[in-house]
Amino acid sequence: MSESKTLPFNAEVRQLLDLVIHSLYSEREVFLRELISNASDALDKARVVGLQEQDFAAAAGEPRIDIRVDSVNRTITLSDNGVGLTQEEAIDALGTIARSGTKAFAEAIKDQSHNLIGQFGVGFYAAFMVAERVEVRSQSGRPDNAGVIWTCDGTTEYTIAEGERSDRGTDVILHLREDAEEFLDEARLKDIVKRYSEFVGYPIFVGEEQANEPQALWTRTPSEIEEEEYNTFYGQISGDFMPPATHLHWSADAPIQYKALLYVPSAAPHDMNHPDGRRDIKLYARRVLIDDAASFLMPDYLRFVRGVVDTEDLQLNVSRELVQQTATVDKLRSQLTSKVLRHLQSVAKKDTETYTGIWEAFGGVIKEGLHNVSSSKDKERLTSLVRFNSTRSDDDKGQVSLAQYVEAMPEDQDSIYYLVGSDYASVSRSPHLEAFKRKGIEVLLSWDTVDEWAFPSMETFQDKKLVSISRGEVDLGEDDTPSPTVSEDLAGWIGTVLAGEVSSVRTSNRLTNSASVLVDDQFGVSNNMQRIMRQLNQALPAAQRILEINPGHALVRTLDQLHKDGRKDEAQPLAWLLLDQARLLEGEVRDPVGLVERLQTLSTLAAQALGVNAQSAPHPEPTDEPAAAPEATDAPVVIEGEVLDASGEQLSE
Ligand code: ADP
Ligand code: MG
């Protein structure tokens, strides 16, 4: 045998091994599901690569997975004649965890089953739940490579040596731990295969016997398929242990002939927003897999959809790049997209509970579509799918659709009002809402970044304009009660005090309780958008905003009086305070030092007004002399809990 080398695992793998070996004892049988799933993936990949690369080695025989037990040596061997691994690939795939799989997995098992291991792209390491040593012997189908033997006893390192497998494929040899001998029983293994791997698309042999019946579930008639079978198949293709939220299974003949079985998961996969995240849509041409991750079949805003699509209208032997460019794929994508959207619409209508779960998991992603969608029909469908919080409910769990909003609004209301901010607390208590609350007008509330784009993208719904209430002037019609007034030049004067901070100051008709509020310019970039861009480190030139003041508020009226009386020194900090308050209400502190100074000035003024005239006393200068002993009195002195008498002697208890 040629020489071998020993390599260290990266920190993530070590952490994971530790977790797997020391804290996972129940449900250990899932190791088999994970290894079968990897073998099945390897067979899928071999099919796809074989179609695309001329010099890729052919397999010895039909694709299959074999599980063999050796009771004497206490080993289980899983073999596949799939794509195989080169040395570099083995180091890459088995020695490191590229993404944050471990962390996400460790988080998940805190309160859930560790059965989830496959979902986090770390399923291979489940082998160490039952094995004290694992050997992987692999031969890649790629030309000119020697094959590889990867060995690890679950510690901090693994060894790599040159391989000795003659044909393309992989053997995974598990040297079972003493406490895992139960898995040497073939009947037990067959049971586990039946339970978890029923729908693997390749024959699985345990010993001489085939343990599954590979079948293309999607080719069967929907009415003859049990829910359970749909769920098992979903688990198989997605690695997700939780059942899906919903599935759709249909076939079409024109303009393209295809069958599709698609699923919406019940929770967001941890890598949903990762550019290299798993995208489990498999594309088949007449039952033959041609792409195992055909993400191009779904728009980005539906990237959480999983499933299989099988069409009669694609060539088998075209490359992935070419497949993507065909008109057939374009048509397929648009068909699948509108079908999924229509299905979601119907779930929303018929099964609110399920839809609420879907919206919680994927709402943020779906809303991205409002901005990107190209077909106006799909945009309409998307618009009917969005849900928002609103002033109607008292918590942050509101689920209001635009249709519900419009239905509930008074006849003469011609706009749909919304407010987007940084978080629930500041949005739900925003001064912008005051006039709307007074008049009983519902406002949609959001603190989801994507809504800065989503709302403007919708423009209108059922001919009602969508209007941000933090922009421009509000016109909610005349009030019955005459509004209080302040001197005409007050706003202008405050404007000169706050020059450079705001573009102008005006009296407000949106405030009831608050003294002031900052308003975005009708057409400029909103403050919330500025905040988001700052977080992305893409600061925009600061937009000047408008400060609106409430002429009925005591603070404003006091300021008005001081201004009329020409008492500038007292009026100025009050004017600033109006700006400070408005910023604080948005959760922003721009100039904490200035703010504290102004508050101190005002407190001093208030104290004087109350007739209290406390001068701040200077601290004594520090000196080098020892501190003077306390003056002798008859009273006992307490020092750090000890009671001493005047002479310094400790008193008895
Ligand atoms: P995942 O399957 O989600 O990628 P795993 O931890 O289960 O994560 O497997 C890690 C990687 O190891 C796989 O992506 C694959 O590259 C490689 N691998 C595992 N088993 C096999 C196999 N039987 N044949 C070829 N490659 C394999
Ligand atoms: Mg896997």
Q: How many CB atoms lie within 10 A of CB 41?
A: 16
The closest of 550, 477, 484 to 519, measured between CA atoms, is 550
- At residue 27, the pLDDT reads 77
Ligand 1 geometric centre to CA of 84 (Å): 10
What's the count of helices (H) and strands (E) in the chain, helices before strands?
Answer: 19, 25
Residue reference for tokens 């019940």: 266
Distance CA 417, CA 445 (A): 9
Ligand 2 centroid distance, CA of 285 (Å): 24
Q: Quickly count: other Cβ atoms within 10 Å of residue 331's Cβ.
A: 15
**Block residue for tokens 């061997």:** 77
- Hey, what are 183's tokens? 């898995």
Q: Assess contact for 30 and 115: CB atoms under 8 A.
A: yes
Structure confidence at residue 603 (pLDDT): 87
Q: Note the pLDDT of residue 2.
A: 60
Q: What is the CATH number of domain 387-469?
A: 3.40.50.11260
* Of residues 337, 331, 463, 330, the one with CA closest to residue 406: 463
Which pLDDT score, from 0 to 100, does residue 77 have?
98
Q: Where are the beta strands (DSSP E) in 365-501?
A: 387-390, 400-401, 415-420, 444-446, 460-461, 464-468
217-347 CATH, one of 2.60.40.10, 3.30.230.80, 3.10.20.440, 3.40.718.10: 3.30.230.80
**CA gap 266, 477 in Å, rounded:** 45
pLDDT of residue 533: 76
Protein residue with its CA nearest to atom 20 in ligand 1: 38
Backbone phi, then psi, for 113, in 5-degree steps? -75, 145
Distances (CA, A) of 463 to 48, 199, 371, 460: 49, 49, 19, 6
Ligand 1, closest atom to CA 278?
A: 3
Distance in angstroms (rounded) separating the CA atoms of residues 253 and 256: 6
Tell me the two tokens of residue 190.
């067959």
Pocket test for ligand 1, best of 20, 38, 142 (most atoms within 8 A of CB): 38
* Measured distance CA(82)–CA(38) in Å, rounded: 10
Cα(317) to ligand 2 centroid in Å equals 27
Name the residue ranges covered by the structural domains of the chain: 5-210, 217-347, 387-469, 490-521+537-614+636-652
Residue nearest to atom 27 of ligand 1 (CA): 38
For residue 278, give the ligand nearest its CA.
1
- Secondary structure of 593-630 as H, E, C letters: HHHHHHHHHHHHHHHHHCCCCCCCCCCCCCCCCCCCCC
User: Cα of 37 to ligand 2 centre, how many Å?
Assistant: 6
Distance of CA 232 from the midpoint of ligand 1 (Å): 21
Q: CA-to-CA distance for 525 and 521, rounded, in angstroms?
A: 8
Q: Are 563 and 486 spatial neighbours (Cβ–Cβ below 8 Å)? A: no
**CATH number of the domain at 5-210, please?**
3.30.565.10
Q: How far is CA 608 from CA 561, 570, 573, 612, 615, in A?
A: 18, 12, 16, 5, 11
**Class in CATH terms, 490-521+537-614+636-652:** mainly alpha
pLDDT of residue 65: 97
Ligand 1 pocket test, candidate residues 124, 168, 278, most atoms within 8 A of CB: 124
Q: How far is the CA of 31 from the centre of ligand 1 (A)?
A: 13
Ligand nearest to the Cα of 120, by number: 1
Nearest ligand 1 atom to the CA of 120 is 3
Cβ atoms of residues 60 and 81 within 8 Å: yes
Residues 594-626: b if buried by 16+ CB within 10 A, e if exposed:
ebeebeebeeeeeeeeeeeeeeeeeeeeeeeee
- State how far the Cα of 253 lies from the Cα of 258, in Å rounded to an integer: 7
Nearest CA to ligand 1 atom 14: 93
For the chain, residues with pLDDT lower than 70 are 1-2, 23-26, 98-121, 316-320, 477-482, 540-542, 613-616, 618, 620-653
pLDDT of residue 645: 42
Distance 64 CA to ligand 1 centre (A): 16
Q: What is the pLDDT of residue 532?
A: 76
Cβ-proximal residues to 586 (8 Å cutoff; 6+ apart), any chain: 421, 422, 426, 430, 518, 527
**Residues at CB less than 6 angstroms from ligand 1:** 34, 38-39, 41-42, 80, 82-83, 85, 93-94, 121-124, 170
CA-derived radius of gyration, the chain: 35
For residue 643, what pLDDT is reported?
Answer: 41
Angle formed at CA 331 by CA 266 and CA 338, multiple of 5 degrees: 40
Enumerate residues 6+ apart whose C-beta is below 8 A from 461: 383, 402, 403, 406, 416
What are the pLDDT digits (tens) for 379-394?
999 999 999 999 988 7
By the CB criterion, residues less than 5 angstroms from ion ligand 2 are 37-38, 123
* Strands (DSSP E) found in 496-572: 502-507, 516-519, 545-549
The β-bridge partners of 69 are 76
Atom 16 of ligand 1, residue of closest alpha carbon = 93
Ligand closest to Cα of 122 equals 1
**What kind and span of H or E run contains 227?**
helix 227-238
Q: In angstroms, what is the span from residue 166 Cα to ligand 2's centroid?
A: 24
Query: In this structure, what token pair is assigned to residue 535?
Result: 């977080």
Q: Tell me, what DSSP letter sits at residue 469?
A: T
Nearest atom in ligand 1 to the alpha carbon of residue 89 is 16
Closest to 396 measured CA to CA, from 369, 365, 370, 421: 421
CA distance linking residue 358 with residue 348, whole number of Å: 9
| Res 302: pLDDT | 96
For 127, the token pair is: 């082998």
What residue owns the CA closest to ligand 1's atom 12?
Answer: 93
Buried b (16+ CB within 10 A) or exposed e, 335-362: bbbeebbebbeebbeeeeeebebbbebb
User: What's the pLDDT at 117?
Assistant: 67
Beta strands per DSSP E along 413-544: 415-420, 444-446, 460-461, 464-468, 502-507, 516-519
d(CA 45, CA 51): 10
Q: HSE (CB half, 13 Å, CA atoms) of 186?
A: 14
How distant, in Å, are the alpha carbons of 359, 629, 632, 639, 643 from that of 635?
A: 71, 15, 9, 13, 11
d(CA 118, ligand 2 centre) in Å: 6
